[in-house]
Amino acid sequence: MNKNSKVVIIGVGNLLLMDEGIGIHVINELEKHKLPQHVGIYDGGTGGFKLTDLMHGAKKVIFIDAVETDKAPGTITTFTSKNVHSIYPKKKYSLHDTDLMEVIKMAELLDNPPEIEIVGVQPKIINYGLTLSKELRDAMPDIINTVLSRIEEVCSVPGYGFLSKERS
Amino acid sequence: MHDLNVDINHITRVEGHGNIVIDVKGGKIRELRMDIIESPRFFEAMALGRTYKEVAQITSRICGICAVTHTTTSIKAIESVLGFEPSIQTIRLRKLLLNAEFIQSHILHVYFLTAPDFFRVGSVFGMVKDNKDDVLRGMRLKSLANDLCALVGGRHIHPITLKVGCFSKSPELKDIAAFKKRIVESRSDIDVTVKFFKDLKTPEFERETEYISLTSPDEYALYGGSIKSSDHNGETAPVDYLDRIKEFIVPHSTAKHAKSNRNSYMVGALARFNNNYEQLHPKAKAAAEEMGLKHPCYNPYMNNIAQVVETVHCFEDSINLIDDLISDGLSDEKVELLPEKGRGVGATEAPRGTLYHEHKMDDNGKITYANYVIPTAQNLANIENDLRSLIPQVLNKKKEEIILDIEMLVRAYDPCISCSSHLMKVKFVNE
């Protein structure tokens, strides 16, 4: 992994809350694939505002996260912060309920913010547990293909690196 | 106002967690309860059957903000079972990593959660228009701490080099030395931070309570020590933590509360400041004086000022730790510990207060029992008691001002809601 990757993929969520950890499960799966050297892959866990530190120097950041979209479990929705209604600032009593959109809003305040998009996956079960629901396990190949396709598309744009011929 | 009805619903995705309910009638509090954390028993259940080498990876995931402390405490509990004492190098690196977590957590807490209240802007995003430099300063300091976490812990979030016995990989000496330069250069941001918080007017309110923290004869105790209560002269070894604190279940909550000598006690920066003031770095003491934090202090809102003081301390302590590491050199350590049946306890100061992990394991190194006492579980009864004392004093204010006082008090503690899903709920523009 290149420390100053131009393209950064970050999976986020809590591994201990079943489908909430989908982003981390996807990162673990992606690590089995050979990706271009300038593509960084990170397990962002429940880093909250710490996540902005994984984006430094990147031109493009793709997050993978569980997103409540009222669609069928496993449904993949790719979007940017511009696609969603602003519900921020939201009231909070604890830093522990920071969600990804707040992190993205914060990152966009910085100088030269990267382009950010989210690959959102509709969860089925969010409760204590280390495994994914069946629906999300079944959706995993589609999610991986979606992310790999986005990486390839992004890397084919001049300035973002190279078209990945290295990927197995 | 003699009547007040407040029902704050905190959004957590796990059912049954997340309310602050206050009902005042005729000036008397009829109901006041707070239930905003999960029971750690779910995480404890996940630890059962894990090996002594892997259990820390589970506990690391309990909290993204305090991942270093959970991992360290878990490891210390295992080492306590095995009667193992790590090398000075390992302890120094753990302390450095812990300092990084304290700095990032405290900075996020005071800049991103607390400061917006003083400007009445609702959230840190509201500060961007008029106080962007302050927000960016907070971001810089947070990034500095996280980069230190990555250097020593191997990752920015959820460290991976912390292992039972020693670090799986030591940082390079040249990188540590270079980082010292960065910390020294960032002192100016710390100085401005002290001035920034000096100018913010913390609400006036006092309620003396029992303060519990770790204490050590050698230093301002964060990494370890024995348990000290402000109500007692003696100290308690971590392994006997249940002699000092009692966990109990309250009817309105599945969350465990804790008490000691009284019906509630406080942990966290203010408790540590009150118990261990003398051992703070001189620069931290000077910062406390500059910001008007006098020892001892019984105003829970000043917990945030105590956090700024501790941030100064952790800055200076990190510089000293790096000097010691450079002076003694760094070697790659290899420690292989065999499992033993037994019981062990780890106690570490997390940014929000003392964290206890108790483990029992069998001959094969499998965890057979786990008990985790998190800072917020200990503070919960104390926050409720603060609110019981505060509300009668502010009932003559307008309702929105009372609610702000209540919210600011809760935010001063920043309760840890590990079960809080970080799940986004979005509504798309074209829908």
Residue B115 has pLDDT above 50, yes or no: yes
Q: Cβ(A136)–Cβ(A123) under 8 Å?
A: yes
CB pairs under 8 A between A and B: 184
Average pLDDT over residues B10-26: 62
| DSSP one-letter string for A30-67 | HTTS---TTEEEEEEET-GGGGGGGSTT-SEEEEEEEE
Q: Do B158 and A53 lie within an 8 Å CB cutoff?
A: no
| Residue B3 identity | D
Q: Do A67 and B147 lie within an 8 Å CB cutoff?
A: no
How far apart CA B273 and CA B260 sit, in angstroms, is 19
**Would an 8 Å CB–CB cutoff place A14 in contact with chain B?**
yes
**Would an 8 Å CB–CB cutoff place B155 in contact with chain A?**
yes
Domain B41-413 belongs to what topology? Cytochrome-c3 Hydrogenase; chain B (1.10.645)
Closest CA to B113 of A53, A96, A44, A47: A96
For chain A, list the domains and their CATH numbers: 7-155 (3.40.50.1450)
**Would an 8 Å CB–CB cutoff place A112 in contact with chain B?**
no
Closest CA to A77 of B424, B165, B392: B424
> Cα dist. B138→A91, A108, B68 in Å?
20, 15, 20
Confidence band, pLDDT 50/70/90 cuts, at residue B248: confident
Nearest-CB residue to B157 (from A17, A45, A100): A45
Please write the tens of the pLDDT for every residue from B253-284. Answer: 666 778 899 999 999 999 999 999 999 999 99
**Would an 8 Å CB–CB cutoff place A31 in contact with chain B?**
no
Residue the block writes with tokens 């990486």 = A151
Please write the tens of the pLDDT for every residue from B307-337. Answer: 999 999 999 999 999 999 999 999 989 999 9
**Would an 8 Å CB–CB cutoff place B178 in contact with chain A?**
no
Disruptive mutation site among B61, B120, B423, B429 for chain A (greatest number of A CBs within 10 Å)? B423
Walking along chain A (168 residues) 10 residues at a time, the average pLDDT comes out as 74 92 96 91 91 90 92 94 68 72 84 90 91 98 96 86 44
For chain B, give the mean pLDDT: 90
| Residue B257 identity | H
- Report the residue of chain B nearest A130, measured CA to CA: B46
Nearest-CB residue to B429 (from A14, A43, A85): A85
B424 chain-A contacts, CB cut-off 8 A = 65-68, 99-101, 120
Element (H, E) at B266: strand B265-266
Residue the block writes with tokens 């959102």 = A120
Q: Which residue has the higher pLDDT, B342 or B254?
A: B342
How far apart CA B12 and CA B241 sit, in angstroms, is 30
Polymer length of chain B: 431
Report the largest interatomic distance among the alpha carbons of chain A, rounded to a whole angstrom: 47
| DSSP one-letter string for A56-105 | TT-SEEEEEEEEE-SS-TT-EEEE-GGGB----SPP-S-GGG--HHHHHH
pTM over 0.80: yes
- Among B residues 52-81, those touching chain A with beta carbons less than 8 Å apart: 58, 61-65, 67
Other Cβ atoms less than 10 A from the Cβ of B222: the count is 25
Q: Do B414 and A96 lie within an 8 Å CB cutoff?
A: yes
- The Cα of A63 is separated from the nearest Cα of chain B by a number of Å equal to 12
pLDDT at B255: 65
Q: Terminal CA-to-CA distance of chain A, rounded, Å?
A: 16
pLDDT at A167: 39
Q: Terminal CA-to-CA distance of chain B, rounded, Å?
A: 43
**Would an 8 Å CB–CB cutoff place A48 in contact with chain B?**
yes
Determine the number of helices (DSSP H) and then strands (DSSP E) in chain B: 14, 13
Residue ranges of the domains in chain B? Answer: 4-35, 41-413
Please write the tens of the pLDDT for every residue from B187-225. Answer: 999 999 999 999 999 999 999 999 999 999 999 999 999
Nearest-CB residue to A66 (from B12, B45, B423): B423
Closest CA to B157 of A132, A11, A56: A11
pLDDT at A149: 95
Q: Do B64 and A50 lie within an 8 Å CB cutoff?
A: yes
Beta bridge mates, A17 = A129
- Report the residue of chain A nearest B408, measured CA to CA: A93
**Would an 8 Å CB–CB cutoff place B46 in contact with chain A?**
yes
Closest CA to B415 of A99, A162, A57, A95: A95
Q: Do B427 and A43 lie within an 8 Å CB cutoff?
A: no
Q: Do A67 and B416 lie within an 8 Å CB cutoff?
A: no
